[in-house]
Structure 1
Amino acid sequence: MPINLPDIIKKLNTEKLIEFLRNQKLRLDEEDFSCLRSQKISGPSFLLLERRHLIDCKLKMGPIVTLLKLITEINTGELSNEKLIPVLNDIKNSKWLYSRYFYTFPFNKWSHEHYKNWILSNYPTSKKEAYNRCFFKIIRKIKEDSKTLEEIREFISKLDGKSKNRRFYHPLNHNEVKFKKVSQEQR
């Protein structure tokens, strides 16, 4: 089942919504968040807000315009991956050759197979080990980013989870090496 951002936002309570808005780096201040909190604006109502509602909340014009733009981007599916998954800004500015995939396609279209096909069509001489390493490194980086919505991290975790059943062969002795997932506590 494809993941849908408006459906995720609709599940947020007021505090989770405010946390999401803080992570968007919208230049809202505590007074703006207090207005949303005092009106008990949660995810479902947030997506339905109009200018008059925000004026009634006693928000200033700057935050009103900012929030209306964000609401429109969410409702129309135009919110960029970089805004939705903050760690992608770091990845975008890195020198990782194959990272462009992650801000070219919406996160709910990502898959290892799609990534592999995209790599081979754009970088035909790529080595499988290099692009696989990049894919799983970025997936894990996103998965561990606390600023990314929990539902998106869960979706991303499934992409990473598919790798745990793969078999790898030791390059020197050609024996099969199985990797098991190690929890944070075991590290």
Structure 2
Amino acid sequence: MQIDHAFLSHALNAVDAKGRVSVPSSFRATVDLRIRTYGIAGDEVRASELMIGVHSDGDRLRAYDAIGARQLIEEITEGVADLPARERREALTRAKRSEISTLMPVSYDSAGRMVLPPLLRDLAGIGDTALFLGVDTYFEIWNPLKAREALSDDPMLVRMIDFYLGQRS
């Protein structure tokens, strides 16, 4: 399934002691547009829910809306389609376990506030700020200092992160 409405943009938002953080308004608008455009029965119920899990690199979170989660499953399935049946089943199970089983449903309210589960915050090292980066079919949630280090080969992203961090001090 080709989706034309990508998660674009970025933001640095405060995380309170209970793990509450606001999903950037541009990302909420994209979720709403994608659900209205590509949703199937039942997706509209999940229009204010994200599936959030640890990225395979272990240094950030990735967040999918209902459409993105469906795309991810399709991509995983297509990725093993050429294998013989037995190998395909095993590879599909491994891939889904790796990519899907870390996802947790997280709802946000009408103002965009959500509570990042403590496990996810801990695994990604997210403290009192969260950096949101749009990555097409999903968006990432980073500890901004980890993002600065991991993305150090991209000077523009480093400058952007430094700007946001400078605004916070």
Structure with bigger gyration radius: 1
Please give the TM-score of this superposition, normalised by the length of structure 1.
Answer: 0.29
> Which is helix-richer, 1 or 2?
1
Higher relative contact order (CA 8 A, sep 6+): 2
Please give the TM-score of this superposition, normalised by the length of structure 2.
Answer: 0.31
